[in-house]
Structure 1
Amino acid sequence: MSRLLRFIGHRLYTTWATFWFVMPFVLTYPLQWALSQRPAWHRYLHTLNRYWSKLFIRMWGMPVETVGAHRLPVGHPCVYVANHSSYIDIPLLFRTIPGWLNIMGKSSLARVPVWGPIFGRAYITVDRESAVSRGRAMVQARRTLESGRSVVIFPEGAISKTPGQQLEPFKDGAFQLAIAAGVPIVPITMPLNHRFMPDVSGLRVRYSRLAIIVHPPLPTTGLTAADAPALKQRAYDLIASALRPEAGGIPEASTWRQPAPQPLVRA
């Protein structure tokens, strides 16, 4: 009976969370589409996306622990680097980081029906298997920083295979970019996002508290390209230090059925 009640609870909460994600987007879609048409309007589109993220995260009803928000640079650009463990990483970053951000996401996001083209026009997309695409994305990011706008990059390049437990190796691009542009690196850890919405086949949502930790900025003044590996390691160590291994792993799929009995093993 308790298994059935948990199954029903998970289904109801998944429906609630999906409704509050989709409904505001549907209502604002005509405005989002219009604002995505001209680069001069993308600032307002990002503001709308930030309020959309704040709204649905609030309506999901779980507490969000925010640590180190006072460390967020104000008034000058930087490169934010964060661990990647869930599809809600971007909304949580939009909710937490003020100002007009650019974010680098995988090119497949731009192919998501309805929402994807808006994202592709307003933010940076990259095919990490293509050297040309990676180079073009870095040029866009450099121009973004030169215009006074911060950039968010997931240096793992993909969602971690062991979220909450171990980071994937970091790519060099974000750190070379920050050094070349002369802006600080700001490491961010999101240790619990995979507990709410893991990267699995199908939709799996669980009521789970969230947390976001902003680490002290790492200055790049006086650094050269040769210093990028050491800078990358410092950011890696800071982000990894705030993971919570006890919360690692993917939550189980909900089912009302009892697990099938294991076959007997005969010697």
Structure 2
Amino acid sequence: MKVIRNIAGYVYAVYALLLFVATLLVVFVPVWVIARYSEPTRARLVHRAFRIWMGVYMPLIFCPVSRRGKQHFRKGENYVVVINHNSLMDIPVSSPWIPGPNKTLAKIEMSRIPLFGVIYKAGSILVDRKKESSRRESFGLMDDTLKQGIHLCLYPEGTRNKTEKPIQPFYDGAFVTAIRAQKPVMPGVLFNTGTVLPHDSKGWARPKRLHIHFLEPVPTAGLTLNDVAALKEKVYTMMETYYITHKNELS
């Protein structure tokens, strides 16, 4: 039975990858054209393109996405959206399902992949984590993104969760950015992306319904950088508690 399961997982992974490439070729030209626009128009059009793309692709690979908490996004307000990080699938699930245009902080290495790199750059703020100057510059670009009324989508764990913990400890960056911009933090919790594409199973995957739930936003108005630790702890506790409470019902 285990052998059959393993074979099925590899076959499914190949199917999902081939379909990803096929649909990427369809959206490549529109996104390439959109990338020539200036912000915030580019972010708005890219978000629509990504939402249509993933809205078609995810059901085709038998991983439909369910969303809760859209009502927490108030019209005319943008947020620093922080999301747990379990899988390479997190960005294509989270970014398109955030209500409204958004950008994410992304590794520059991925932008060098032919064709995909063009799409990757269109919706991202690129950072070279090996260079201190690039990391400093990324903070300014994130500030600019928020000033333009665009949501910022960040993964405060820094890397994919490969531990037994529900959620890894958070870094300060997302919370420093939110306080500096005086923008609310919107916690988002992803379920099952690590089950579909496990970090320890190369070339293997499985289909499963995915969930992204947005929680009550946490205001930062009046906070200073002295409050970063408390804000980070509050958001972490909210997300960890929600994940533990709902994991079994959604898995």
Normalised by the shorter chain, which TM-score bucket?
0.7 to 0.9
Instruction: State the one-letter code of the partner of 1:107.
Output: I
Distance change >3 Å, CA 65–CA 34, structure 1 → 2: closer
Task: Quote the offset at 1:8 in angstroms.
Answer: 4.1
Indicate if the aligned counterparts of 2:84 and 2:167 stay in contact, CA closer than 8 A: yes
Indicate if the aligned counterparts of 1:50 and 1:91 stay in contact, CA closer than 8 A: no
- Is 1:103 equivalent to 2:115 in the alignment? no
Separation in 1, partners of 2:186, 2:135? 21
Separation in 2, partners of 1:45, 1:64? 19
Separation in 1, partners of 2:37, 2:68? 35
Aligned to 1:262: none
Aligned to 1:241: 241
Separation in 2, partners of 1:220, 1:119? 30
Separation in 2, partners of 1:38, 1:236? 36
- Is 1:212 equivalent to 2:216 in the alignment? no
SS in 2 for 1:211: strand
Report the TM-score when normalising by structure 2: 0.88
User: Which of the two has higher C-alpha Rg?
Assistant: 1
Task: Quote the offset at 1:242 in angstroms.
Answer: 2.6
Aligned to 2:232: 232
Separation in 1, partners of 2:226, 2:242? 27
Aligned to 1:221: 221
Fraction of identical pairs, as percent: 30
- What are the Cα deviations for residues 159-217 of structure 1, in whole angstroms up to 9, with x where unaligned? 11227x33222111111111111110001111321000122463221122222121110
Q: Which consecutive unaligned segments of at least 5 residues does structure 1 have? A: 249-267
Q: After the TM superposition, which parts of structure 1 deviate over 4 Å for at least 4 consecutive aligned residues?
A: 244-248
SS in 2 for 1:119: helix
Task: Quote the offset at 1:17 in angstroms.
Answer: 2.1
Q: Which consecutive unaligned segments of at least 5 residues does structure 2 have? A: none
Report the TM-score when normalising by structure 1: 0.83
Aligned length in residues: 246
Q: Name whichever of 219-228 and 206-215 sits farther off.
A: 206-215
- What are the Cα deviations for residues 75-125 of structure 1, in whole angstroms up to 9, with x where unaligned? 211100111111111111133212111111122221223211332254201
Separation in 2, partners of 1:96, 1:89? 11
Separation in 2, partners of 1:228, 1:125? 24
